[in-house]
Amino acid sequence: MMKIEEPRPAPAASALPQVSEKQLRAIGEVLRDSSRPLKERFRALFTLRNLPGAESVAQISAAFVDDSALLKHELAYCLGQMGHVAALPVLVSVLEDTGQNAMVRHEAGEALGAIGDPSVLPVLSRLSADPTPEVAETCQLAVGRIQWLQRNQNGAENLTTNPYASVDPAPPADESSRPSCAELRAALLDETLPLFDRYRAMFSLRNRGDADSVCALADGLKCGGALFRHEIAYVLGQVAHPACTKQLEASLRDQQESDMVRHECAEALGAIGTPECLQLLAEYGSDEARVVRESVEVALDMCEYEQSAEFQYADGLATAS
């Protein structure tokens, strides 16, 4: 099953037809039309993401005036995954805008790290001391990723393959020493380690994707800060292994948990997509937190797509005229 974010990743791209600039603008109009159901706007966003180029970046960037934190955080995520330097100015602007939801600013910072251009290191370094912990930690991670890219241009480290084709905020751990699942779990949960190192353990476990690794990851839902826990939920959604259903459910039901984490748990449950998960999501379609309600709406739409015969998630939008 697929996951939004953040989904995290956008739905897997099938071969899309060539589209004109006029068609791209038409898709952008769907994305920015707040009178449309959110699920339709997400389909437009994912279509633009799968049509890389400066015009797609421009159409996505123009939607940051929206009032949905979920949509705006997904805009930033998609721009980061596209990797186009044309997105740098808008992402820096969103990151620096303290009027934006912390979840949106975080995603803009993560996107800057995903694009990996060293020119943004000064702003990322400055905002590594931002008073909002999720923003500060994201910027620290982004600095760490760009510096890691600079150090490892020759590909000297022995890394596992990412089966999800996402650009992650940190690389997996170096596998030269063949760390066990228990060793990676210990690093993941060790709050004395730098966050970048814990993320590396996280993505190694994610890449392994077996039940033991998934259970080790799920232990992270009760560990660390909101940023760390939300990333745990995100990668669990990527793996979409039912072994973590109960832990995701517990975090979603926890009204004391950060909405940033709960929304990722909702998306992850939608990615797993079992009848049990879908029944649970239906309970939260009217949650008090808007970002959770909207995550449920989009997650259920993706589940419906996965169970249909549609050619690809944003079917038909790429041929808009």
Residue 52 confidence (pLDDT): 85
Q: Which two tokens stand for residue 167?
A: 């650009």
Cα separations in angstroms, 53 against 28, 58, 142: 13, 9, 23
Residue 317 confidence (pLDDT): 55
Residue 18 confidence (pLDDT): 76
Cβ atoms of 74 and 8 closer than 8 Å: no
Cβ atoms of 266 and 234 closer than 8 Å: no
**Banded model confidence at residue 319, pLDDT cuts 50, 70, 90:** very low
∠ CA 167-168-170, nearest 5°, is 135
Q: How far apart are CA 150 and CA 320, in angstroms?
A: 41
Residue 306 confidence (pLDDT): 67
pLDDT of 188 higher than 90: yes
Q: How far apart are CA 129 and CA 124, in angstroms?
A: 9
Residue 86 confidence (pLDDT): 97
Q: Is 113 exposed, middle or buried (0-12, 13-18, 19+ CB in 10 A)?
A: buried
Residue with the larger pLDDT of the pair 2 and 272: 272
Q: How far apart are CA 245 and CA 265, in angstroms?
A: 9
Mean pLDDT of 150-165: 90
Residue 16 confidence (pLDDT): 52
Residue 17 confidence (pLDDT): 61
pLDDT in tens, 48-61: 999 989 999 999 99
pLDDT in tens, 208-267: 999 999 999 999 999 999 999 999 999 999 999 999 999 999 999 999 999 999 999 999
Q: How far apart are CA 20 and CA 196, in angstroms?
A: 41
Q: What percent of the chain has pLDDT over 70?
A: 90
Cβ atoms of 160 and 207 closer than 8 Å: yes
**Banded model confidence at residue 66, pLDDT cuts 50, 70, 90:** very high
**Banded model confidence at residue 307, pLDDT cuts 50, 70, 90:** low
> If you average pLDDT over every residue of the chain, what do you get?
91
Q: What percent of the chain has pLDDT over 90?
A: 84
pLDDT in tens, 101-124: 999 999 999 999 999 999 999 999
Residue 7 confidence (pLDDT): 40
pLDDT of 171 higher than 50: yes
Q: End-to-end CA distance of the chain, in Å?
A: 30
Mean pLDDT of 6-29: 68
Residues near 264 by beta carbon (within 8 Å), at least 6 away in sequence: 5, 6, 8, 230, 231, 233, 234, 237, 295
pLDDT in tens, 207-216: 999 999 999 9
Separation of CA 78 from chain center? 8
Residue 303 confidence (pLDDT): 80
Q: Which two tokens stand for residue 96?
A: 């620096």
User: What DSSP character marks residue 136?
Assistant: H
